[in-house]
Amino acid sequence: GGAEVYLCGSNPLSTQDDVAAALVAHYGVATYAIKGEDHKTYYSHIVSCIDARPHLTMDDGCDLVTVLHTKKRNFLRDVFAGTEETSTGVTRLRAMAAGKVLRYPVMAINDADTKHLFDNRYGTGQSTMDGILRCTNMLVAGSTVVIAGYGWCGRGLATRAKGMGATVLVTEIDPLRALEAAMDGNQVVSMAEAVPRGDLFITVTGNKSVIRREHFLAMKDGAIIANSGHFNVEIDIPALDRLAGGRRREVRPFVEEFRLPGGKRLHLLAEGRLINLAAAEGHPAMVMDMSFANQALSVEYLRKKAKTLKKDVYIVPRDIDAEVARLKLRSMNVDIDTLTTEQERYLRTWSEGT
């Protein structure tokens, strides 16, 4: 699109160093990101991007926007609009808009149908299992998998785990989502009920301390705990560390064993960070293409319309969403039917019954 681009990580463990290096060497994109960077470096890289005085932000989780609105407020006046990729970022942005602190319009890419129905469901479903299998080599068939959160990611994960032969338990706090999980054929239980039964726990809630002290205490020896939600707060890792009294060691790459009093061992994957990005390669390009098409077309829209928009969170226009679906179908060589004139007329009338 003709922009000058500056890039940083949106999660300390999610960068692929070879990709970051190639972006610098072959594409001249200023890239501030290292896999496994510490907290301080992660935030200093965000600041380095902001120091380039951006006119537009494309965020994933809302850390960049938050730093801009707190520590770098004098750069806000240059920004005309932004986009946000993920559920957690959209939740934070809506909180900012409700609190009247958001200083420019942001498009919630996550909420486009061609994003969350596919990327979150099929992308997270597949790549989360991929990350867990690559680092543990566990046998899913016959195991009990506990999934916390039956949102778009949780639905995808439950389907994949079931397809691989697991018994799936789902925990939820939303009655509608819980009902859907039950009718999709999962066992819906409280986390307290799930902990003594689970072999593998996966959190995808976007919330914090979903698995905590009382849950660790009731887990089976050898239980595996992973997170695929955006931030590393879904599992209360400090509480796990305190329980183990610091008795923790890496037993395989991305697998850390915590030894609890009495000898019970619990295995935490990828420091509780997005397991699909830390231990595998994230979503396949075949699903990210739709998310990034939404990003690109939304940026074009914002460039043209930002002046007419309020400092609020916006939904991707329906025609962009439909265009992305059309393009994706075409790339898959899938033809669909079109309405006949008679059908179009029938759908517009109210007087014609049986």
Q: What SS3 state is found at 270? A: helix
H/E run at residue 261: none
| Region binding ligand NAI by CB under 6 A among candidate stretches 50-58, 65-73, 225-233, 237-245 | 225-233
Minimum CB separation of residue 205 from ligand NAI in Å reads: 4
The letter for the amino acid at 53 is: R
| Region binding ligand NAI by CB under 6 A among candidate stretches 81-89, 253-261, 320-328, 337-345 | 81-89
Q: DSSP for 42-109?
A: HHHHHHHHHTT--SEEEESSSHHHHHHHHT-GGGGGG--EEEE-SHHHHHHHHHHHHTT---S-EEEG
Minimum CB separation of residue 130 from ligand NAI in Å reads: 11
H/E run at residue 257: strand 255-259
Q: Does 177 bind ligand NAI (CB under 6 A)?
A: yes
| Region binding ligand NAI by CB under 6 A among candidate stretches 70-78, 206-214, 261-269, 293-301 | 206-214
**Nearer to ligand NAI among residue 92 and residue 244 (C-beta):** 92
Q: How many residues does the chain have?
A: 354
Q: Which residues within the stretch 144-173 sit at the binding site for ligand NAI (CB under 6 A)? A: 148-154, 171-173
Site mask for ligand NAI (CB under 6 A), range 264-293, x = bound: ----------x-x-----------------
Q: Does 205 bind ligand NAI (CB under 6 A)?
A: yes
**Nearer to ligand NAI among residue 24 and residue 179 (C-beta):** 179
DSSP label at residue 206:
S
Minimum CB separation of residue 218 from ligand NAI in Å reads: 16
Minimum CB separation of residue 170 from ligand NAI in Å reads: 8
**Nearer to ligand NAI among residue 204 and residue 320 (C-beta):** 204
Q: Does 187 bind ligand NAI (CB under 6 A)?
A: no
- Contact present, 327 and 117 (Cβ < 8 Å): no
Q: Which residues of 43-64 are buried (b: 16+ CB within 10 A; e: fewer)?
A: bebbeebbeeebebbbbbbbbb
87 token code pair: 């559920």
Q: What are phi and psi of 167, to 5 degrees?
A: -85, 125
SS3 readout for 141-152: CCCEEEEECCCH
**Nearer to ligand NAI among residue 123 and residue 244 (C-beta):** 123
Binding residues for ligand NAI (CB under 6 A)? 86-88, 116, 120, 124, 148-154, 171-174, 177, 204-207, 210, 228-230, 274, 276
